[in-house]
């Protein structure tokens, strides 16, 4: 076994860090742009393998998408504009892609087959597929539809009022996306509120979403309109630097464009309770996804 030596930092961490784009928001920006009508421009996109899998899948369905580093342009033609893929849709290692995209595919009249890598093949999919089947989608797969590859044929869906046994943003998102074309009002109730990136972004694309306590509702028949999306930095990635800046002596770090979605800022709440010294400067007041520059110093 090779040995590695980690040298202690004596003079602290000092500098400015631009946090990479939020993965959850990058996925949704591409997906929603693909099913919207018109042009969507995404800045701050995270060009990681998972998000690139999302781009690849929608290209297979005929969506025009161009990417240049962290900028992406999507020319959407609406849900009706998606085309039957000629090949299996491969999500790679992206659970977000397969779960959210399933909620979109059940709205299409064509046949599709979705699979991923060996890790995806081991993940049960019933939490997503069962409520989609209740809405009228035809979904099958290995072990009675439990595991990938999944075959999906959408059609005429009916809205449901679904009470989820667990709080899951991916399950909630798949059902809400299926509800876009379902007959009636789709509602999802969770034991506690999960990440709300989908609800926020649907509203940014022109969809009316209603929140009442732990329940989220939307009426079927709504269409998305292309828009500009600025992806904030991923607060999960920022967490490492926030902790380092707080505990390494003589440190002062400025973290730029950190996403401040209140369903994601647990690390900041914990650091505040522990007495960390930091300031938060809001930089995009009124945006669907709040972001801030955070300065943190050794406490």
Tokens at 132, concatenated: 């989609």
Q: Please report the pLDDT score of residue 101 as a whole number.
A: 99
pLDDT tens-digit readout, 121-173:
999 999 999 999 999 999 999 998 899 999 999 889 999 999 999 999 999 99
CB atoms within 10 A of CB 178: 28
Query: Which CATH number belongs to the domain containing residue 258 in this structure?
Result: 3.30.110
Residue-level pLDDT at 42:
98
Task: Indicate whether 270 and 157 sit together in one domain.
Answer: no
pTM for this model (two decimals): 0.94
- Are residues 127 and 224 located together in one domain of the fold? yes
What's the pLDDT score for residue 9? 67
- Structure-token match 């995209």, residue found: 101
> 43: closest CA among 224, 238, 261, 291?
291
In a domain, 3, yes or no: no
- Whether 177 and 278 map to the same domain: the answer is no
At a CB cut-off of 8 Å and minimum separation 6, what does 274 contact?
A: 246, 299
What confidence score (pLDDT) does residue 125 get? 96
Each residue's pLDDT tens digit, 57-111: 999 999 999 999 999 999 999 999 999 999 999 999 999 999 999 999 999 999 9
Evaluate if residue 231 carries a pLDDT over 80: yes
Examine the domain organization and report whether 33 and 179 are in the same domain: yes
pLDDT computed for residue 83 by the predictor: 97
Q: Which of 230, 265, 288 is the last residue of a domain?
A: 230
The candidate with the shortest Cα–Cα distance to 292, out of 248, 224, 250, 242, is 242
pLDDT of residue 285: 75
Top pLDDT among 68 and 7 is at 68
Where among 230, 256, 283 does a domain terminate? 230
Average pLDDT of every residue of the chain: 96
Tens of pLDDT, residue by residue over 204-216, are: 999 999 999 999 9
User: 271 and 204, same structural domain?
Assistant: no
Asked whether the beta carbons of 33 and 229 are under 8 A apart, the reply is yes
pLDDT at 287: 81
At 34, which helix (H) or strand (E)?
Answer: helix 23-35
Same domain, 202 and 132: yes
Tell whether 150 and 33 lie within a shared domain.
Answer: yes
Question: For residue 170, what is the domain's CATH number?
Answer: 3.65.10.10
Domain count, the chain: 2
Give the pLDDT of residue 286: 75
Residue 19, both tokens: 């946090």
Say if residue 240 is in the same domain as residue 209.
no
Residues 202 and 113 in one domain: yes
DSSP 20: P
Task: Kindly report, residue by residue over 178-230, the tens digit of the pLDDT.
Answer: 999 999 999 999 999 999 999 999 999 999 999 999 999 999 999 999 999 99
Instruction: Give yes or no: residues 217 and 71 share one domain.
Output: yes
Verify that 107 and 148 share a domain, yes or no: yes
- Which residues form the domain of 264? 14-19+232-297
Q: Output the CA–CA distances (angstroms, integers) from residue 269 to 151, 263, 286, in the order listed.
A: 42, 11, 22
DSSP states of 45-99 as a string?
---SHHHHHHHHHHHHTT-EEEEETTEEEEEEE-GGG----SS-EE-TT-HHHHH
Predicted local distance difference test score (pLDDT) of residue 5: 84
Q: What percent of the chain has pLDDT over 70?
A: 100
């Amino acid at each position: 076994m090779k040995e590695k030596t980690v040298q202690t930092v004596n003079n602290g961490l000092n500098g400015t860090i631009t946090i990479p784009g939020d993965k959850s928001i990058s996925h949704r920006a591409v997906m929603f742009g693909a099913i919207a009508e018109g042009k969507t421009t995404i800045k701050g996109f995270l060009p990681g393998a998972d998000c690139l899998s999302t781009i690849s899948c929608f290209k297979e369905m005929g969506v025009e998408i161009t990417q240049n580093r962290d900028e992406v342009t999507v020319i959407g033609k609406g849900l009706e504009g998606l085309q039957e893929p000629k090949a299996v849709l491969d999500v790679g290692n992206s659970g977000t892609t397969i779960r959210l995209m399933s909620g979109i595919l059940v709205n299409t009249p064509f046949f599709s087959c979705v699979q991923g890598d060996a890790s995806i093949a081991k993940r049960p999919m019933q939490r997503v597929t069962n409520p989609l089947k209740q809405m009228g989608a035809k979904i099958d797969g290995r072990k009675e539809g439990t595991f990938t590859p999944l075959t999906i044929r959408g059609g005429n869906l009916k809205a449901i009022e679904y009470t989820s046994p667990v709080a899951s943003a991916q399950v909630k998102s798949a059902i809400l996306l299926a509800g876009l074309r379902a007959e009636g009002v789709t509602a999802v109730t969770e034991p506690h509120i999960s990440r709300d990136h989908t609800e926020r972004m649907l509203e940014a694309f022109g969809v009316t979403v209603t929140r009442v306590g732990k329940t989220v509702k939307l009426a079927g028949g709504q269409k998305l309109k292309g828009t500009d999306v600025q992806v904030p930095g991923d607060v999960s990635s920022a967490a490492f630097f926030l902790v380092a800046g707080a505990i390494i002596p003589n440190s002062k770090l400025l973290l730029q464009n950190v996403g401040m979605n209140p369903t994601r800022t647990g690390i900041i709440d914990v650091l505040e309770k522990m007495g960390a010294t930091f300031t938060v400067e809001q930089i995009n007041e009124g945006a669907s996804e709040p972001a801030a520059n955070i300065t943190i110093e050794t406490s």
